[in-house]
Amino acid sequence: MLNNLQVKAYDTENNRFNSGVLKKVNGRYCFEQKSTDDGSTDIYLTPGWIDIHTHINDGFGIFGTNGDDIGYKTGVCMLVDAGTVGDYTIHGFRKYVEPTIKTNIKLFICISPIGVIFHHEYNVMEYLNVKNTVQTIEANRDIISGVKVRIGSEVIRHEGIEPLRIASEAAGMANLPLMVHIGGIPPNFSEIEPFMKKGDILTHCFNGRGGKVWNDDGTPSKSMEKLMMRGVILDIGHGSGSFSFDIFSKANKHGLPKICIGTDLHSFSRHRYVFNMATTLSKMLGLSMVLEDIIYGVTKLPAEILRLKDWCDLSDIQNATLFRIRHEPLVCEDCYNQIMTFDNRIVPVGVILNGDFYDI
Ligand SMILES: [Zn+2]
């Protein structure tokens, strides 16, 4: 079915779509560009979608969910677990969970050794340890791509910003990016900013929990301006409580850098608010983000964060996502009781996962 399929393929280097055909040559898929576009295809081909923010420690704690259900079966070829797993739980993850997932996976290790099992993972601060975290990273470099910390009033009680300081130190020592969850205050956003460096990721950055990330008119706050100047990467991290249509729309009007589109899919958000990656991408399309920038945020940008060299090379495809854009209404809600109906929906039709095609 896939040989000589006409597609519009996403060129990550030039941030545009090119017409051509998807071919299978000597058992390997590749894209061949054709200069003439007869407009007869409505199928898009992109490098495999990467979800930079998920929770796939299935069966452990309140967030863990099934990887493949939010992975290749829904168009996502790489899932990044955003800190559900820590020093004390990674052995269990690797032994009992990892072998059950067919989708490619990476982890941002939680700075709390238990991972995110419940909401206050830093209650016993003496267990947080830079040296142990770095040792765990060294022993699991094949799968660990960063360090995760949650800083917001929904997580932090007496600990202040100490978990952030420790996580930032561990990430620095391991030469990996730090992903910082922001939410309710305290702590103030201005206290968080100094700990983030170029290439780190700020997730939930369009949340409506009250922190002064953006000014009321949608311009970046002073701290956000500093982070953007420094090259910190913004991630949507939608989840059940972290995405506001209003805040995103206002910020987007003033022009945003390239952002990551992580879903924050977990055991709750997959049943309400988020559902899957395609719904999140459709929301971004409905909120006037350009399709090319949406795809960049789910392919090239996360591939760079994960240091995946050939992920976006369509001349020799290992992982790719095929989708259509259907002109059908899509009713969506953000996390703050706002409902919007969008005109179009992004619908995955198949993935190439590690060289094999799967129909969706
Ligand atoms: Zn999350």
The CATH number of whichever domain residue 77 belongs to comes to 3.20.20.140
Residues paired with residue 146 on neighbouring β-strands, in sequence order: 108
The pLDDT mean for the chain works out to 96
Ligand 1 geometric centre to CA of 263 (Å): 8
Q: Which domain holds residue 254?
A: 49-305
Same domain, 191 and 109: yes
CATH number of the domain to which 29 belongs: 2.30.40.10
Same domain, 198 and 224: yes
Name the strand (E) or helix (H) holding 317.
Answer: none
Q: Which residue has the tokens 């340890």?
A: 129
Phi, psi of 275 (to 5 degrees): 70, -55
Ligand 1 geometric centre to CA of 203 (Å): 8
Ligand 1 geometric centre to CA of 231 (Å): 22
Examine residue 322 and state whether it is found in any structural domain, yes or no: yes
Ligand 1 geometric centre to CA of 264 (Å): 5
Ligand 1 geometric centre to CA of 115 (Å): 11
Quick: pLDDT tens for 202-248. Answer: 999 999 998 889 999 999 999 999 999 999 999 999 999 999 999 99
Name the strand (E) or helix (H) holding 151.
Answer: strand 144-151
Domain count across the chain: 2
Examine residue 115 and state whether it is found in any structural domain, yes or no: yes
Q: Which residue has the tokens 């079915």?
A: 1
Ligand 1 geometric centre to CA of 116 (Å): 9
Ligand 1 geometric centre to CA of 262 (Å): 9
Which of 278, 150, 149 has its CA nearest to residue 209?
Answer: 150
Examine residue 30 and state whether it is found in any structural domain, yes or no: yes
Same domain, 276 and 327: no
Quick: pLDDT tens for 289-348. Answer: 999 999 999 999 999 999 999 999 999 999 999 999 999 999 999 999 999 999 999 999
Coil, strand, or helix at residue 9?
strand
Same domain, 201 and 269: yes
Count CB-CB contacts under 10 A for residue 330. Answer: 18
Count CB-CB contacts under 10 A for residue 245. Answer: 20
Note every long-range contact of 274-277, with CB atoms under 8 Å and residues 24 or more positions apart, other chains counting.
274/238, 274/239, 274/240, 276/70, 276/74, 276/75, 277/49, 277/51, 277/70, 277/74, 277/75, 277/76
Ligand 1 geometric centre to CA of 84 (Å): 8
Quick: pLDDT tens for 45-88. Answer: 999 999 999 999 999 999 999 999 999 999 999 999 999 999 99
Coil, strand, or helix at residue 216?
coil
Ligand 1 geometric centre to CA of 81 (Å): 8
Examine residue 144 and state whether it is found in any structural domain, yes or no: yes
Ligand 1 geometric centre to CA of 93 (Å): 17
Same domain, 340 and 256: no
Q: Identify each DSSP E strand in 219-260 by its residue range.
A: 233-235
Ligand 1 geometric centre to CA of 37 (Å): 41
Rounded (10°) angle between helices 162-174 and 130-139: 40
Ligand 1 geometric centre to CA of 295 (Å): 21
Ligand 1 geometric centre to CA of 235 (Å): 11
Coil, strand, or helix at residue 57?
coil
Ligand 1 geometric centre to CA of 54 (Å): 6
Examine residue 254 and state whether it is found in any structural domain, yes or no: yes
Ligand 1 geometric centre to CA of 229 (Å): 25
Higher model confidence: residue 1 or residue 56?
Answer: 56
User: DSSP assignment, residue 213?
Assistant: S
Ligand 1 geometric centre to CA of 17 (Å): 31
Same domain, 27 and 141: no
113/150 Cα distance (integer angstroms): 13
Examine residue 310 and state whether it is found in any structural domain, yes or no: no
Is this model's pTM higher than 0.85 or not?
yes
